[in-house]
């Protein structure tokens, strides 16, 4: 089964999955293609229902059950499901996808800025990210005209007559800014907007005067009437929430501590279920330390599955999970950091001939090249044992704390070679993996896969005997003092 996944910039990826695959498999393949697999928990896949509504694909359930099947190519949209500030994103590719989605939200009017000055600043950042520095001979008119659709919130002052001039001036002021930096600062500005991270649910009925409900990182925002009067309900005030057909029922505590109910009628039962799902998942993602089993284990069955479950409770027939959230915001960040660290620790260092071919510039007289060679020589000298000048220093002497020798030379010393203080014991230190296997004389680096530099010994006693210099060792080695 082939799936066509559209990115926010309209670029389509084609991935193949098993006909009975769950949505998570499709999302992981897409994230692998884009290089965002370490932070794929921020993203989700959207599909259109028979009524044209955009719904999140439940990643724990089979794809065919949610889309109806029978279509040669299923179409999905890759979108950010859980928004976080840009400083919490560890991968450059992830920030780029956040930028693309933010740009789409701004241009289509789902995200609104506070005033026209902020709108001009965001347009300038988009132009810098996509077109580079301002060129008077080739100004990016196409980007300007498209992004000028960014509008501030109502009510606001009329659009300035020199709005385009403000954009050009802002664009000139950020000359030299990298595209990645421009994307970061746009995300930084967007993250300060009131509607940042909100998922909107509309109703054409305006039931009980409520026209729209936004579910965000901190709670629910209720929009009432045409004047867009808002009411904020934090997650801590919510007592219960449920959906039944097209109705959504919410019970919460008001500011006075009075239990209040809110009934909201949506356009379809799927939208009502989506609102209930969004509140539960966003509350778990942003507010909880971990996802509780009550959320992950919640499921429903169809009629056939319900009948079978009467005779066999463990049957998976007709089971549909209600939620697909796996990790909270803190867990996603920690998991991504751990994965990136392990990936960096398993990178093979280059061979000697690769280093020479890449960096050898002969007898170049360029002052910068000469300065770089001198800095490299000083660095290599500093990483060698100050006694034998052959092996890398890997031992710290205590209690003075100086790191000036390798383990073999440190064993032969009873006093610190630098300050002449008595040595009580010494311990192995672990340098960055790029400097662990450096040899000054032949500039050779190990070509093996380098992991964290831990000594592997046969027993804890041998480790202690090699790392700690006891007082008996000091007495026996007095003849080798320096």
Residue 408's domain is classified under what CATH number?
3.30.40.10
pLDDT at 92: 93
**Domain limits for position 439:** 352-480
State what percent of residues in the chain have pLDDT above 70: 79
**pLDDT the model gives residue 454:** 34
Give yes or no: residues 74 and 124 share one domain: no
206-226 residue pLDDT tens:
667 788 899 999 999 988 876
Model's pTM, two decimal places? 0.70
Separation CA 245–CA 265 (nearest Å): 9
Average pLDDT of every residue of the chain? 80
Res. 227: pLDDT tops 70: no
| pLDDT of the residue at 473 | 42
70 or 276: whose pLDDT is higher? 276
The CATH number of the domain where 17 resides is what? 3.10.20.90
Is residue 268 in a domain? Answer: no
Q: What is the pLDDT of residue 284?
A: 93
Closest CA to 150 of 182, 200, 186: 186
Least confidently predicted of 154-163, 310-319, 400-409, 455-464: 455-464
- Is 331 a domain residue? no
Report whether pLDDT(385) > 80: yes
Residue 303's pLDDT is 67
Q: Are 44 and 81 in contact (CB under 8 A)?
A: yes
Same domain, 55 and 124: no
Average pLDDT over residues 439-450: 38
Selected residue with higher pLDDT from 101 and 68: 101
Confidence of residue 380 (pLDDT cuts 50, 70, 90): confident
**Burial annotation 97-106 (CB, 10 A radius, 16+ → b, else e):** bbbbbbbbbb
In a shared domain, residues 389 and 363: yes
CB neighbours of 147 closer than 8 A, spacing ≥ 6?
Answer: 103, 106, 107, 122, 123, 126, 127
340 located within any domain: no
Measuring CA to CA, which residue among 111, 108, 293 is closest to residue 197? 111
Q: Which of 59, 82, 105 is the last residue of a domain?
A: 82
Residue 94: what pLDDT? Answer: 94
In-domain check, residue 357: yes
Q: Give the confidence band of 463 by pLDDT, cuts at 50, 70, 90.
A: very low
Question: Considering 134, 164, 190, which residue would you say is the last residue of a domain?
Answer: 190
- Residue 167 CB-density burial (10 A; 0-12 exposed, 13-18 middle, 19+ buried): buried
Q: Would you say residue 361 has pLDDT above 80?
A: no
Least confident piece of the model among 91-95, 155-159, 186-190: 155-159
Contact by Cβ (8 Å): 171, 131: no
């Amino acid at each position: 089964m082939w799936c066509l996944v559209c990115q926010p910039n309209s670029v389509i990826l084609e991935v193949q999955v098993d006909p009975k695959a769950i949505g998570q498999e499709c999302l992981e393949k897409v994230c692998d293609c884009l290089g965002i697999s370490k932070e794929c928990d921020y993203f989700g896949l959207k599909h259109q229902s028979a009524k044209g509504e955009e719904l999140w694909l439940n990643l724990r359930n089979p794809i065919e059950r949610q889309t109806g099947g029978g279509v040669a190519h299923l179409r999905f949209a890759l979108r950010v499901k859980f928004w976080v500030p840009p400083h919490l994103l560890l991968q450059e590719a992830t920030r780029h996808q956040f930028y693309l989605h933010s740009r789409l939200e701004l241009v289509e009017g789902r995200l609104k800025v506070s005033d026209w000055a902020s709108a001009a600043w965001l347009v300038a950042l988009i132009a810098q990210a996509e077109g580079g520095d301002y060129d008077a001979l080739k100004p990016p008119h196409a980007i300007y005209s498209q992004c000028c659709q960014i509008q501030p919130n109502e009510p606001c002052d009329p659009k300035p007559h020199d709005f385009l001039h403000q954009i050009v001036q802002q664009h000139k002021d950020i000359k030299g800014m990298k595209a990645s930096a421009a994307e970061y600062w746009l995300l930084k500005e967007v993250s300060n907007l009131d509607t940042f991270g909100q998922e909107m649910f509309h109703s054409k009925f305006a039931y009980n005067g409520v026209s729209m409900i936004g579910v965000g990182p901190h709670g629910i925002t209720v929009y009432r009437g045409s004047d867009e009067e808002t009411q904020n309900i934090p997650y801590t005030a919510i007592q219960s929430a449920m959906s039944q057909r097209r109705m959504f029922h919410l019970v919460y505590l008001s500011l006075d501590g009075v239990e209040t109910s809110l009934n909201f009628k949506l356009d379809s039962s799927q939208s009502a279920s989506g609102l209930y799902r969004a509140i539960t998942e966003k509350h778990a993602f942003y507010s909880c330390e971990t996802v509780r089993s009550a959320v992950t284990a919640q499921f429903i069955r169809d009629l056939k599955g319900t009948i079978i479950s009467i005779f066999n409770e463990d049957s998976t027939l007709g089971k549909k999970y209600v939620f697909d959230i796996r990790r909270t915001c803190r867990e996603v960040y920690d998991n991504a950091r751990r994965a990136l660290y392990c990936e960096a620790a398993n990178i093979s260092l280059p061979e000697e001939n690769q280093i020479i071919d890449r960096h050898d510039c002969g007898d170049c007289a360029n002052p910068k090249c000469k300065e770089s060679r001198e800095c490299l020589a000083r660095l290599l000298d500093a990483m060698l044992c100050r006694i034998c000048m052959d092996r890398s220093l890997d031992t710290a002497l205590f209690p003075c704390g100086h790191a000036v020798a390798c383990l073999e030379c440190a064993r032969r010393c009873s006093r610190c070679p630098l300050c002449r203080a008595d040595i009580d014991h010494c311990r192995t230190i672990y340098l960055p993996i790029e400097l662990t296997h450096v040899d000054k004389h032949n500039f050779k680096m190990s070509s093996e896969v380098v992991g964290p530099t831990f000594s592997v010994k046969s027993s804890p006693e041998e480790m202690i005997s090699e790392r700690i210099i006891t007082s008996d060792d000091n007495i026996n080695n007095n003849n080798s003092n320096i």
